[in-house]
Structures are given as structure tokens and as C-alpha cells.
């Protein structure tokens, strides 16, 4: 089994080494209003976001994905020089979450996966000789969190249900698989170009911009998608997001699941790989986008 990397845990800053547990493990934990440590966990955040987290939050806030990214997130490297992740950006000059209020989380119904799971963390691991990932969990016991002293026992599986993480896990799975695949492939697939990093970022986190990209007539000059398929993809944001993961598997890992137009190679891909052609499309459609992801504290800007 591929060993989990401590930096992959949602609490990389935690001095406490998480314990691996299975879903049927009973834990003692309850978070409740009135507890002495209320909001302590939201006062010093390090919260990674999944694409589905972004979708839920931007809709909760009635914002475009681009505006959400600029106002509420910072990018970081999921691997050195490689694909990017995003984290919640804390308040200016501070460490607290921008959504924290004295009464609690102001986006509670749409809070991110990591916030729902805490103090449990979801881990995806994969044997090097396997193509499917396995799920495990980690339990983190931080001294500031007094929920571990509350007299309530619950299994990890029931805690997941209580916190409503199942839909988040289901819709985040394609993204986690992409990351696992990219990390385990290492240099064998070559260093991604800036263009493929941009495609990854856009398809995963900037869903509204990705919609424009898919809606553009040139997209269907390359990909053979029926009107019915297009309506399905564009008819729901989770469908569009999942389609983005499929496209990324095809473009980044040569795993074709989307048919190409018979004449696409001659018409549009002459002397170029599919990946390069698609990246050209993206560059043309995002002329002024500047995404840097070297320093986790870097801010990035997305211009219209
Ligand atoms: S999103 Fe809500 S639960 Fe998560 S850190 Fe922010 S305030 Fe806390
Ligand atoms: S019990 Fe833990 S999760 Fe709940 S408010 Fe306190 S620190 Fe946060």
C-alpha cells in the first residue's frame, strides 16, 4: 500500500500524528455550541478545498467561481512544480476563517469537506500495482479541541452520515483519483506544461470558466459529443465537474473516454498532440489569466 504522506493530511500543521482508523471504529467525540473551545478550530485554519467544496460555497455565496477563488482562496502546490490545490484564505492579517462568526460557521450548510470531517480525515491510498484507490480515515486529537472529552460514542461511518460527507466524498472522488494518479505516476508522464496545469486548475476549481470553455463551438469541433450529452453536461454543475475530471484523465493521462471528431486530427491537431491543441484553446480563451502556484502564500488574480 502506498504509504500516506503526512503532507497529504488535511492538518499538515498539526503537531499531532494522526492515527489511521477504519470506518467501523468507534470514536468518542462531540462538537456542540456552548463548548469551551467553541470556534477554536476555525480561528487558525489550514483548510484544503475540493472542487465540490468550491461549487457549494460559490453557490451559497451567490458568486462566480472566479470571484470566489480571488476572495476566499489561496493556491498551493499539491506536488512540487505540479498540479495546484487551493485552500481557504484566512482573514487579512490573521489566521481565522473568513466565514467564522461568534455564533459559528456562516456557511454551515455548505461548509467544506475537511470541516465536516474534523477531527476525522479522509485518506485515499492506492497500491502501486492497483488502479483503484482505497479509503481509510485518520483521527486527529489536537489539545485545543475539547470535543474528545464529550461523553458521546459514534462510529466513523455514522459520524460521516451525521456530518453529511457522503455526497462530498462521492463527488470529490474523481478529483482525488486524479491527484493520486498524478502523484503515483511521477515523472513517467512527464512534467505537465503550464497549459495543462491551467486546464487542471480551471476544470477543477473555476467551474464557471470551464463551462464557457465547454460551451465554446471550438470544443465540439474537437470532441464528438451529441446534443443530448452536451445538455446533460451543461445541465447540472456536478455533471459538468465530473465531465471535467474525465477530460483531465483523457488529456493528462491519455485515458480516452470522450470520442474525438473523425477529422479533428487533420483539422485541428495537425502536428500537435491533443493535449497541446486543447491547451492552445485554453490559452486563447483565458488571455489574461495569471495563476501562480509556487508559494502557498501567493495570491493569484483572474482577470476578465
Ligand atoms: S468554513 Fe466554517 S467550519 Fe470551516 S473553518 Fe470556516 S468557519 Fe470553520
Ligand atoms: S469541539 Fe473541536 S471542533 Fe468543536 S468547536 Fe471545539 S475545537 Fe472546534
**What is the model's pLDDT at position 185?**
74
Interval between CA 37 and ligand 2 midpoint (Å)? 6
Same domain for 171 and 51, yes or no, is: yes
Same domain for 257 and 204, yes or no, is: yes
Residue whose CA is at the smallest distance from ligand 1 atom 1: 111
Same domain for 222 and 131, yes or no, is: no
Residues of the chain with pLDDT under 50: 1-13, 15, 271, 285-304
Find the Cα–Cα–Cα–Cα dihedral 180, 183, 187, 188, rounded to 10°.
-20
Interval between CA 147 and ligand 2 midpoint (Å)? 6
Same domain for 199 and 118, yes or no, is: no
Residues 6+ positions from 164 with CB-CB distance below 8 Å: 116
Within-domain flag for 300: no
**What is the model's pLDDT at position 188?**
56
Distance CA 142, CA 45 (A): 13
C-alpha grid cell, residue 69: 477563488
What is the CB neighbour count within 10 angstroms for residue 152? 12
**What is the model's pLDDT at position 289?**
38
Same domain for 238 and 156, yes or no, is: no
Inter-helix orientation angle 51-60/65-72, to 10°: 100
Same domain for 180 and 194, yes or no, is: no
Residue where a domain stops, chosen among 184, 205, 238: 184
Q: Which atom of ligand 2 is nearest to the CA of 118?
A: 3
Same domain for 91 and 144, yes or no, is: yes
C-alpha grid cell, residue 90: 484566512
Residue whose CA is at the smallest distance from ligand 1 atom 5: 42
Ligand lying closest to the C-alpha of residue 72: 1
Local structure of 104: helix, strand or coil: strand
Within-domain flag for 295: no
Local structure of 260: helix, strand or coil: strand
Sign of CA dihedral 195, 199, 202, 204: negative
Distance CA 11, CA 8 (A): 8
Same domain for 169 and 27, yes or no, is: yes
Residues 6+ positions from 146 with CB-CB distance below 8 Å: 35, 36, 37
Give the domain extent around 32. 16-184
**What is the model's pLDDT at position 2?**
41
**What is the model's pLDDT at position 267?**
60
Within-domain flag for 297: no
Number of structural domains found in the chain: 2
- Please give the model's pTM, rounded to 2 decimal places: 0.84
**What is the model's pLDDT at position 121?**
87
Q: Which atom of ligand 1 is nearest to the CA of 114?
A: 4
Helix H segments across the chain? Answer: 51-60, 65-72, 113-117, 156-162, 166-185, 194-205, 207-215, 217-222, 227-235, 237-253, 264-268, 274-285
Same domain for 174 and 233, yes or no, is: no
Is cis: bond before 69, omega within 30 of 0? no
Pocket of ligand 1 (CB under 6 A): 42, 45, 47, 97, 99-100, 105, 107, 111-112, 115
Interval between CA 3 and ligand 2 midpoint (Å)? 29
Contact 105, 41 (CB under 8 A): no
**What is the model's pLDDT at position 123?**
82
State the average pLDDT for the chain: 82
Ligand lying closest to the C-alpha of residue 112: 1
Residue where a domain stops, chosen among 166, 184, 202: 184
Ligand lying closest to the C-alpha of residue 40: 2
Interval between CA 78 and ligand 1 midpoint (Å)? 21
Q: 199 exposed, middle or buried (CB, 10 Å; 0-12, 13-18, 19+)? A: buried
Ligand lying closest to the C-alpha of residue 43: 1
Pocket of ligand 2 (CB under 6 A): 31, 35, 37-41, 118, 144-147
Same domain for 26 and 137, yes or no, is: yes
Within-domain flag for 211: yes
Residue whose CA is at the smallest distance from ligand 2 atom 7: 145
Same domain for 265 and 142, yes or no, is: no
Residue whose CA is at the smallest distance from ligand 2 atom 4: 31
Q: Which atom of ligand 1 is nearest to the CA of 108?
A: 2
Residues constituting the chain: 304
Amino acid at each position: 500500500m502506498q504509504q500516506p504522506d503526512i503532507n497529504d493530511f488535511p492538518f499538515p500543521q498539526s503537531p499531532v500524528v494522526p492515527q489511521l482508523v477504519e470506518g467501523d471504529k468507534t470514536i468518542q467525540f462531540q462538537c456542540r455550541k456552548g463548548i469551551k473551545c467553541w470556534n477554536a478550530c476555525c480561528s487558525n485554519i489550514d483548510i484544503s478545498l475540493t472542487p465540490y467544496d468550491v461549487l457549494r460555497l460559490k453557490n451559497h455565496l451567490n458568486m462566480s467561481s472566479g470571484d470566489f477563488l480571488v476572495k476566499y482562496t489561496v493556491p498551493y502546490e499539491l506536488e512540487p512544480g505540479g498540479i495546484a490545490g487551493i485552500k481557504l484564505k484566512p482573514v487579512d492579517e490573521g489566521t481565522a476563517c473568513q466565514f467564522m462568526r461568534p455564533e459559528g460557521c456562516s456557511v454551515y450548510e455548505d461548509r467544506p469537506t475537511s470541516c465536516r470531517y474534523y477531527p476525522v480525515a479522509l485518506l485515499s491510498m492506492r497500491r502501486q500495482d492497483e488502479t483503484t484507490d482505497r479509503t481509510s480515515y485518520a483521527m486527529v486529537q489536537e489539545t485545543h479541541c475539547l470535543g474528545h472529552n464529550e461523553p458521546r460514542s459514534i462510529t466513523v461511518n455514522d459520524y460521516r452520515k451525521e456530518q453529511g460527507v457522503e455526497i462530498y466524498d462521492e463527488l470529490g472522488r474523481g478529483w482525488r483519483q486524479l491527484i493520486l494518479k498524478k502523484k503515483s505516476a511521477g515523472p513517467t508522464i512527464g512534467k505537465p506544461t503550464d497549459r495543462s496545469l491551467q486546464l487542471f486548475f480551471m476544470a477543477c476549481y473555476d467551474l464557471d470558466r470551464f463551462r464557457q470553455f465547454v460551451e465554446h463551438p471550438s470544443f465540439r469541433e474537437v470532441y464528438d459529443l451529441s446534443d443530448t450529452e452536451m445538455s446533460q453536461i451543461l445541465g447540472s454543475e456536478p455533471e459538468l465537474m465530473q465531465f471535467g475530471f474525465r477530460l483531465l484523465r483523457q488529456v493528462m493521462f491519455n485515458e480516452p473516454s470522450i470520442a474525438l471528431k473523425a477529422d479533428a486530427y487533420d483539422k485541428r491537431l495537425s502536428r500537435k498532440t491533443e493535449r497541446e491543441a486543447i491547451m492552445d484553446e485554453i490559452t486563447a480563451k483565458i488571455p489574461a489569466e495569471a495563476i501562480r502556484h509556487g508559494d502557498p502564500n501567493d495570491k493569484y488574480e483572474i482577470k476578465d
